[in-house]
Amino acid sequence: MVRSISVPVLARLALGGARVGIDRVDDAMIVLLAARRRLVSAVGPAKRATDAPLRDAGREERVHERARNLAARLRVPASSADHLIDTLITDACMQQAMHPGAKADGAGASANTHRQDQRRDRLLRLIPPPRRWRGALSLVPRAVLDTFAERALSTTLASSLQDDWLAPVQRRRVGIEVVDLGLSWVLEVDGERLRRSRGPAEAMVRGSATDLLLLTSRLEDADTLFFQRRLMLTGDVELGLTVRNLLDRLPWETLPLGVRIALHRAARGLRAARDAHATVV
């Protein structure tokens, strides 16, 4: 007589097998990191010989862009790809800084890096958080802010509008509220154009200026932001879920490169400033 295997036993076997697989993938990642570091070791001397700077913002942005494109094809969150590439770039910079003139134990480089981080944090804390911009923005005529927001969003979504990417929300009123700036708009997709609507929002997306910009620049994915309640959806549940799915699927690669670079730098700057303010006790 064949004895059946209980569900808990099967679950433990599946868990054990998955963990073995994860360990093998982790091993492969370390091997790939070692291979990357060997290549980086040839880059440092070449940079010094040509007086090239240690950091190349354009090159780093292209590396991030390649990673995001591959991540999108493999259904990996863009934020996870960005965090991984940031870690690899930081490791490469530290490796290149450790040329023969540096201390062998790395103490000098570590101390210098720590001082640079402290200076950076002090400078970032000079950037006021978005909530402090609210008073200044209140002096700007609302019509100017509305026109700017409509044009900025229309430019960002231009290709999506032409390709019917936003067809599921045609003629539906979706609101955006930037809570720390005290700004909100109700928008409606009308054919191949995005326009402001005077009617009430059927669904509303609420979040801080920083988190909304991180979402727009694809440095954070919608699922993470909504799960952590840094973004919130209210109103029509079905429409809200449709909007949430569209935010994750918008064809970011169709934006002009200059716009993508500007969005990334602004989002990273605001995120870094927020983190620096958060470290103040």
Residue 128 has pLDDT above 70, yes or no: yes
The region that residue 106 occupies, defined by phi over 0 for left and psi between -120 and 50 for alpha, beta otherwise, is left
Residue 242 has pLDDT above 60, yes or no: yes
Tell me, what's the pLDDT at 118?
59
Residue 166 has pLDDT above 50, yes or no: yes
Report the percentage of the chain scoring pLDDT > 90.
2
Domains of the chain (ranges; CATH) run 7-99 (1.20.59.10), 131-278 (3.30.1050.10)
pTM of the model: 0.55
In tens, the pLDDT along 15-59 reads 888 888 888 888 888 888 888 888 888 777 777 777 777 777 788
In tens, the pLDDT along 44-55 reads 777 777 777 777
In whole angstroms, give the CA distance from residue 229 to residue 233. Answer: 9
Residue 105 has pLDDT above 70, yes or no: no
Q: What is the mean pLDDT of the chain?
A: 78
Q: 203-207 and 173-178 as β-strands: parallel, antiparallel, unpaired? A: parallel
For the segment 235-254, the average pLDDT, to the nearest whole number, is 78
Tell me, what's the pLDDT at 160?
64
Residue 167 has pLDDT above 70, yes or no: yes
Which tokens go with 61? 């942005």
In whole angstroms, give the CA distance from residue 250 to residue 157. Answer: 8
Report yes or no: 203 and 236 within 8 Å, Cβ to Cβ. Answer: yes
Residue bearing the bigger pLDDT, 115 or 181: 181
- Least confident among 115-129, 191-205, 248-262: 115-129
Name the 3-class secondary structure at 42. helix
Residue-level length of the chain: 281
For the segment 172-190, the average pLDDT, to the nearest whole number, is 88
Name the 3-class secondary structure at 203. strand
